[in-house]
Amino acid sequence: MGKHVNTRDLLKISPQNTLPRLRKACTYLSALILLVLTGCSSKPMLPEATVQASATESPQSYKYLIGPYDEVNVFVWGNPEISGTFEVRPDGMITTSLVEDIPVSGKTPTEVARHIEKALSVYIRDPIVSVSVLEFVGPFSEQVRIIGEASQPRAIPYARNMTLLDVMINVNGLTEFAAGNNATLVRVVDNQYTQYGLRIDDLVNDGDITANVDMLPGDIIIIPEAWF
């Protein structure tokens, strides 16, 4: 026997009833897409990062500056109970047995020693302090940062007379996809970012030592991917 079909069911699926529903669904979908696009286009943009200039203008004038996560040893002559080893906090300060919140980031060990002597003079007569660095990280403004197609992109502490060759050895060279001769060095000059071209392929792969250049604290090396 044939299956009985209710005429009401036919009306429910008829084109006359389906078309308005489809139009309504399309209207909702269009409104949703418009809302998403409007939301994406109206996202506020953050201001450009603050320029952090290094105090070093030439490799010969470089002096190491203490930074967050450095480990420093503070020796107070004749007072071993307040001497000790301290890790610099992320806010650039250390706390000793007698003095809290001593700002050390961005200062040389000698400058920190004189600052601690002044702070300790409230408790000790004529304190003599020496400060040495045991673990080196340094402030961000003093690090050399390598991003892109280096084998091991990273930030490394600057060392006096460091060159591009030293940096490439530290990051284990280039990846097979690197366009080394299109690399860019970004350096802060007169409190502005200035870009310079690098020939890393010539230096690393061809041994062209004329492509080697001096590095400075705060330099950023950007190595793009090659287009095949």
Q: Is 222 helix (H, G, I), strand (E, B) or coil?
A: strand
Per-residue pLDDT for 62 more than 80? yes
Mean pLDDT, the chain, whole residue set: 86
pTM of the model: 0.75
**Mean pLDDT (whole number) for 79-96:** 94
Superfamily (CATH H level) for 140-223: Outer membrane lipoprotein wza domain like (3.10.560.10)
| 190 backbone φψ class: left, alpha, beta (φ>0; ψ -120 to 50) | left
Helix or strand run (H / E) with residue 109: helix 109-120
pLDDT confidence of residue 7: 44
pLDDT band at residue 54 under the 50/70/90 scheme: confident
pLDDT band at residue 8 under the 50/70/90 scheme: very low
Q: In this structure, what DSSP letter does residue 175 have?
A: -
Tens digit of pLDDT for each residue in 168-183? 999 999 999 999 999 9
Tokens 């600052």 — which residue? 115
Tokens 């998403």 — which residue? 36
**Beta bridge partner(s), residue 86:** 72
Per-residue pLDDT for 196 more than 90? yes
CA dihedral 119, 120, 125, 127 (to 10 degrees): -100
Rounded to 5°, the CA angle 225-165-138 comes to: 95
| E strand spans, 13-140 | 71-76, 84-87, 93-94, 102-103, 129-135
Q: In this structure, what DSSP letter does residue 79 have?
A: -
The architecture that CATH gives domain 61-135 is 2-Layer Sandwich (3.30)
Q: Is 8 helix (H, G, I), strand (E, B) or coil?
A: helix
Q: In this structure, what DSSP letter does residue 197 have?
A: E
Domain 140-223 in the same topology as domain 61-135:
no
Closest CA to 105 of 134, 141, 129: 141
Tens digit of pLDDT for each residue in 35-52? 555 555 578 999 988 888
CB 224 within 8 A of CB 148: yes
pLDDT confidence of residue 5: 46
Tens digit of pLDDT for each residue in 90-131? 999 999 888 899 999 999 999 999 999 999 999 999 999 999
Where in the chain are the domains? 61-135, 140-223
pLDDT confidence of residue 52: 82
